[in-house]
Amino acid sequence: MLNRYARAFFTAIFTPTARVLLKMRVSPDAVTLVGTLGVIAGALCFFPRGSFFVGTLVITAFVFSDLIDGTMARMAGRKDKFGAFWDSTLDRLGDAAIFGGLAYWFARGGDQPVLFGVCLACLSLGAVVSYARARAEGLGVDANVGIVERGERLVGALVATGLDGLGLPYVQAITLWAIAIGSFVTLVQRVMLVRRELLKGEAVA
């Protein structure tokens, strides 16, 4: 949901940057790779040490590359399927680093086994939610529904973690629980939608 409303706003902001990169003959795929590597480095270097605020700033700076590369592709008139595949695949790696880094901190330095489990739930459910949509599209069903998609997971986790790094208590724990529960609900929504659409198609056939 968040993705639909925020993307247009940030696309307008980063259009000049995208234009400059295209003039420099930088590939959108290269921007995607650099952004993902930055997210992974920020998450795995800072979150396992409990440096939540700095880590959030570093990750956020690189997350914007996800908007820049898409803008570059549209401006260049690029419509090849590999770009979408590349972007989605690297998104999963970035998400895994963020929740994996948090999980490591809760398991070791933070000594919070419950939140460790919640982070693992966020990580695994987020991956399955994304897989469910991709698999549905392979079956000819648009399963782009749900209360917690990647945008909500990413923004929620980063904002709450950054606030925790500034000393605001409970926000991070509450948000991670909300992401885990919301991701499960989203998975159920997608499964039910796909089931309904496929049964409808079979009935018509």
Total residue count of the chain as it appears in this document: 205
Name the token pair of 72.
């570059």
Structural domain boundaries, residue 12? 2-204
Q: Which residue has better confidence, 110 or 9?
A: 110
d(CA 168, CA 129): 30
Structure tokens at 107: 């398991």
- Do 50 and 107 contact (CB within 8 A), yes or no? no
Q: According to the model, what pLDDT value does residue 4 have? A: 56
Per-residue pLDDT tens for 109-143? Answer: 888 999 999 999 999 999 999 999 999 999 999 99
pLDDT of residue 3: 55
Which pTM does this prediction carry? 0.90
Per-residue HEC secondary structure of 28-95 comes to HHHHHHHHHHHHHHHHHHHHHHCCHHHHHHHHHHHHCHHHHHHHHHHHCCCCCHHHHHHHHHHHHHHH
**Residues assigned a catalytic role:** 91
Tell me the per-residue pLDDT of 58-102, one tens digit each, with 9 for 90 and over: 999 998 887 888 888 888 877 778 888 999 999 999 999 999 999
Instruction: Decide: 72 and 31 in contact? Cβ < 8 Å.
Output: yes
How many structural domains is the chain composed of?
Answer: 1
For residue 22, give the CATH number of its domain.
1.20.120.1760
